[in-house]
Chains A and B, each alone.
Chain A
Amino acid sequence: MSSNPREDQLRELFGELKRADERETPAFESDWVAAGSAKKHALFAELHYARLAAAVLVIVGAVALLSHERSEKRSIALTTSSEPASKMDSTVEPTPVSLDTWQSPTAFLLKEPDEWDQASRPSDGSSLFPATQPQPRHST
């Protein structure tokens, strides 16, 4: 690529720089060994993070399980405490209500208007007051 004297001069300067750099080049072996040990270190670090992640997962799982058990116990206690006092006093053990059928006392507040109890709504044309039977008139 060179024939130009100016380029030759640049090439010479670069060549000199190259020779100086080559004298300062670290041994390949040391860099290769350093890279190898860095690889081992990276593997160890990855393993360390994996262990840490597993430990966190176990702790989170345990906490979730405990909180679930606690909430289950609380719901059973709520059901049994809402029983009438006479029953509570009796010697008969209250039967625990299953979680599937249990409802909060305020659950009706969450219902849509369409879901309200139809029986409690007055129908069209009906009176709000109970109808009275007309009394037969007695002529005296």
Chain B
Amino acid sequence: MTTIVLDPTAGKSAASIETVDRPTTLAGLTVGLLDISKARGDIFLDQLERRLTERGATVARYTKPTFAKPAPVDLRHEIATNCDAIIEALAD
């Protein structure tokens, strides 16, 4: 005899999200950098900003109020609206 159990998960299949095409060049694009407010993160991002600017990108810097909480929805929206590309990464 087989056992029937109830699904203990949220039971959703992963929603598929279409990604935009990768840009072929960074020249002329706005690239967003989000500082998550961890100590010394700014030093790393300063370096990244220099390298991106050398390649012709305009860098927009953003800061999360605290690394311990998700970025506020307004900030996420602002980044999505203003930037052509983002670099998603987390250093700790």
Q: Do A and B come from one complex?
A: no
